[in-house]
Amino acid sequence: MSAPFPDNESERLAALRRYAVLDTPPEEGFDRIVRLAARLLDMPMVLVSLLDGQRQWFKARHGVALEETPRCLAFCAWTILEDRAMQVTDAQLDPRFANHTMVTGEPHIRFYAGVPLVSPEGLPLGTLCVLDRRPRRLEPAELALLGDLAGLVMDQLELRRAGQRAMGELEERRRVEEELRESERLLLEAQRCGRLGHWKWEAAGGTLVCSLELRRILGLDVEEALDCRFLLEAVHPADRRRLRAAIERLSRTGTCRVELRLGRPGGRIRHIWTHGELRRRPGGGAFLFGITQDITERKKGEERIRHLAHHDQLTGLPNRLLFNDRLERRLAAGGRDKAGGALLLLDLDNFKNVNDTLGHDAGDALLYVVASRLRARLRPEDTLARLGGDEFAVILGEPGGPEDAAQVARSLVTALAEPVAHEGRLIHTGTSIGITLFPADGDSAEELLKNADLALYEAKAAGRGDWRFFGQALRRRVEERRTLEEELARALEEDQLFLCYQPEVALADGRILGLEALLRWRHPRLGLLSPDAFLAAAGQSGMAEALGERVLRLAAADAGAWRAAGLEPGILAVNMETAELCRHDFHKRLAALLEEVGLAPGRLCLEIAELGLGEARLQRLPQILERLQAAGITTALDRFGAESGGLLAMRRLPVRRVKLEGALVRAAPADPVAAALVRAALALAGALGRELVAVGVESAEQLAWLRREGCTMAQGRLFASPQPAAGIAPLLRTGRLALPAQAA
């Protein structure tokens, strides 16, 4: 049975053609991947299969002699119809393949598993597939590994295409340069024919005659007498040897071309170009004739172009190209002298938020100030560069060891901790730094930057405003986190995320006042995960917005199902990252989403955690919260008491609810300090008209203490553990929870 063609077949084939890979010789990069797949998955046959219009062609193969087959025989033609891995555990039992000639005959395929090779535009080009002559099944971890290897194949294809593009650009550049050289030759010849700046030297008498234009170039009076000694003295001392060589070449070959500088070191310098010819008179004798052009402005322009090609226009710092060149030179010099050094890779904290909330002009102003502050903290022998975006890098001069690197990193973190003033606002940022030492951590610019990026990733994960040195243990930790990020992206695609709910109850009668939605991840490898295990990865990889949207969609769907069954869940509380709230378009996106999913604003409570509320956010949040509450959305300050600034946050933020930190609630009956903090929170909440919910109640003793202190709302395992939507439905039918008799 042949697979149908995808709906986007023409676009898919066009994308495949752009890679220019069909019918090319084998390449080690692809061959290495199929060998690795065969070894890791214990497979006798592995293919990198690319699906052309009427055939499948193998860019790399292991255990298979064929270079291509008709497309109608391709298992992979079925795989590209799906957006995930396809597995055929026994081809003889699958009606699509039972009569397949490669199943009934050589190579007697019984098992097949393939992962689509998807272009950046989302178009499937082919597959990485593994085959066996016996029935079998890959475990989820093995399928994930096959998917990772397929990603490596796509990386290899992209790298190959980038190389082809670079070669094409290089050829185009050579052609353009040749055209420029030809144009320049024609222009200069035209100037020669126009006798612009010409001169004549009579060899017999030693007299030098210059045109008015050449006298202007040389800065001479019209009547001033000239000889060759004057010309030699006018030339820059460093260029006089070149002038003598040009004169010698002129007398030997009859022609010469030379570029010279006029002037003395420290004074004004002019650049000239001179073409000279030896001409003989019919009656005997000879003279030298030439033209001269002032090319000072052209030289300045070339220097400007060179500067622009190697420097960042905004900050004036060296760019990535110049930085890499200097780093490679430093590595080469260090290798000769057996001297080491250090590389620091810096990334600004919260820079994306600055651009999103204050605009790109504010972002540019911040980058300019950051560059100035970094320059001020570095030595003349250090190299500072802006690699792009909010990423900076430093090559330390001597000695450049770990102690020196740590001292410089500490100084740079301190320099960028101070806020930056811009148009009446204070922009709060900071920096995280990854450090590599050479040659210990790498012997090329590429390797050092890659390892510094791993160390930077670790520094940001540790809480930002810090620095980390690269090491193998760090590499493993970072790779684990990046794997988690990739798996989280896959979880969003494959619906591995779901919500559990925990009721908020009235302590007077046990009524269910609302539900807090708690995100859970059914991880195929690690089991059930709570948000603490993956929220940091979501924030670092830019998935926080998608995660928040998924939570709202899931909560809206569950609420709709409950109401369809005649159940009333009350207000749904959803945790929201403060950074997301502060995005300038958050309220518009939220309103559009609520309308799309059919959740009334009055049914939603957004909870923001007290943790990490710096001064900058405390200044911006009141206006944001007021806008949300004007739209009917309830807001809450979550985890109150987890940090020392909670009372200030409660006073300044116009939230309707305050949720006490669970650890504080559990400690209050036996800990006088915790008890005092809870009492203060209750008093302040009452004075400000806020509702206060005690979270994390686990015992009747805690409940009794809270009721004695006047707390009226609570949440915790004493009443109900977090449960999926199906488990909450019976509780909603009763509408209330039984309170422990001891606490009643």
Express each pLDDT in 73-83 by its tens digit. Answer: 899 999 999 88
Q: What is the mean pLDDT of residues 193-221?
A: 72
Q: Can you give the pLDDT at residue 583?
A: 73
* Token pair 């592995």 in the structure block, residue: 46
| CATH, residue 22 | 3.30.450.40
Higher pLDDT, 541 or 44: 44
| CATH, residue 440 | 3.30.70.270
What are the C-alpha distances in Å from 147 to residues 84, 370, 494? 9, 41, 14
How far is 369 from 382, CA to CA, in rounded Å?
19
Q: What is the mean pLDDT of the chain?
A: 86
Q: Can you give the pLDDT at residue 194?
A: 41
**Number of helical H runs and strand E runs in the chain:** 25, 28
Q: What is the mean pLDDT of residues 295-322?
A: 87
Higher pLDDT, 427 or 475: 427
The first and second tokens of residue 105, run together, are 């005959």
Q: Which range, 111-120, 455-464, 734-743, is most confident?
A: 111-120
Residue type at 388 in one-letter notation: G
The first and second tokens of residue 369, run together, are 């100030």
Q: Please state at what angle helix 445-461 crosses helix 472-494, rounded to 10 degrees.
A: 70
Which residues are CB-contacts of 386 (< 8 A; sequence separation ≥ 6)? 312, 314, 315, 317, 318, 319, 367, 371, 392
Residue 526 lies in a domain: no
Q: Which range, 247-256, 536-545, 604-613, is most confident?
A: 247-256
Select from 268, 300, 332 the last residue of a domain.
Answer: 300
Domain check: are 566 and 597 in the same one?
yes
From 139, 129, 117, 115, select the one nearest 63 (Cα to Cα): 129
Enter the pTM of the model: 0.48
Residue 308 lies in a domain: no
Q: Can you give the pLDDT at residue 610?
A: 63
How far is 96 from 595, CA to CA, in rounded Å?
44
pLDDT of residue 548 exceeding 50, the answer is yes
Higher pLDDT, 89 or 350: 89
Domain check: are 586 and 711 in the same one?
yes
Q: Name the band, by pLDDT with cuts 50, 70 and 90, for residue 644.
A: low
Residue 170 lies in a domain: no
Domain check: are 606 and 703 in the same one?
yes
Domain check: are 120 and 225 in the same one?
no
Domain check: are 100 and 145 in the same one?
yes
Domain check: are 153 and 211 in the same one?
no
Residue type at 230 in one-letter notation: F
Q: Can you give the pLDDT at residue 228?
A: 66
How far is 681 from 687, CA to CA, in rounded Å?
10
Q: pLDDT, tens digit, for every residue of 671-689? A: 999 999 999 999 999 999 9
Coil, strand or helix at 161: helix
Q: What is the mean pLDDT of residues 177-200?
A: 65
Domain check: are 52 and 97 in the same one?
yes
Q: Can you give the pLDDT at residue 78?
A: 92
**H or E element, residue 296:** helix 296-310
From 720, 728, 691, 694, select the one nearest 555 (Cα to Cα): 728
| CATH, residue 210 | 3.30.450.20
How far is 147 from 591, CA to CA, in rounded Å?
37
Which residues are CB-contacts of 361 (< 8 A; sequence separation ≥ 6)? none
| CATH, residue 684 | 3.20.20.450
From 230, 196, 201, select the one nearest 214 (Cα to Cα): 196
Select from 300, 322, 345 the last residue of a domain.
Answer: 300
Could you tell me the residue range of the domain that residue 264 belongs to?
198-300
Higher pLDDT, 247 or 509: 509
Residue 732 lies in a domain: yes
Q: Can you give the pLDDT at residue 227?
A: 65
Q: Name the band, by pLDDT with cuts 50, 70 and 90, for residue 712.
A: very high
Least confident of 73-82, 387-396, 609-618, 653-662: 609-618
Q: Can you give the pLDDT at residue 192?
A: 46
Q: Can you give the pLDDT at residue 728?
A: 94
Residue 487 lies in a domain: no
Residue 3 lies in a domain: no
**What is the strand order of the sheet 207-210 is part of?**
207-210, 198-202, 286-294, 270-280, 255-262
> Are the C-beta atoms of 562 and 600 separated by less than 8 Å?
no
Percent of the chain whose predicted confidence (pLDDT) is above 70: 92
Phi then psi dihedrals of residue 428, to 5 deg: -95, 125
Q: pLDDT, tens digit, for every residue of 1-32? A: 788 898 899 999 999 999 999 999 999 999 99
| Side-chain-facing half-sphere of 10: CA atoms under 13 Å | 0
How far is 379 from 362, CA to CA, in rounded Å?
28
DSSP string for 219-277: T--TT---BHHHHHHHB-GGGHHHHHHHHHHHHHHSEEEEEEEES-TTS--EEEEEEEE
From 104, 101, 103, select the one nearest 112 (Cα to Cα): 103
Domain check: are 295 and 373 in the same one?
no
Q: Using alpha carbons only, what angle is made at residue 290 by residues 288 and 296, rounded to the nearest 5 degrees?
A: 140
Domain check: are 343 and 405 in the same one?
yes
Select from 275, 300, 325 the last residue of a domain.
Answer: 300
Q: Can you give the pLDDT at residue 399?
A: 63
Which residues are CB-contacts of 566 (< 8 A; sequence separation ≥ 6)? none
Domain check: are 321 and 267 in the same one?
no
The first and second tokens of residue 534, run together, are 């993956």
Domain check: are 453 and 563 in the same one?
no
Q: What is the mean pLDDT of residues 560-576?
A: 91
Residue 744 lies in a domain: no
Q: What is the mean pLDDT of residues 691-713?
A: 95
* Token pair 């971890």 in the structure block, residue: 141
Residue 98 lies in a domain: yes
* Helix extents (H) in 338-444: 351-358, 360-377, 402-417
Q: Can you give the pLDDT at residue 123?
A: 93
Residue type at 659 in one-letter notation: K
> Are the C-beta atoms of 118 and 144 separated by less than 8 Å?
no
pLDDT of residue 476 exceeding 60, the answer is yes
Q: pLDDT, tens digit, for every residue of 314-323? A: 999 999 999 9
Q: What is the mean pLDDT of residues 207-227?
A: 73
Domain check: are 593 and 717 in the same one?
yes
If one counts the domains in the chain, the total is: 4
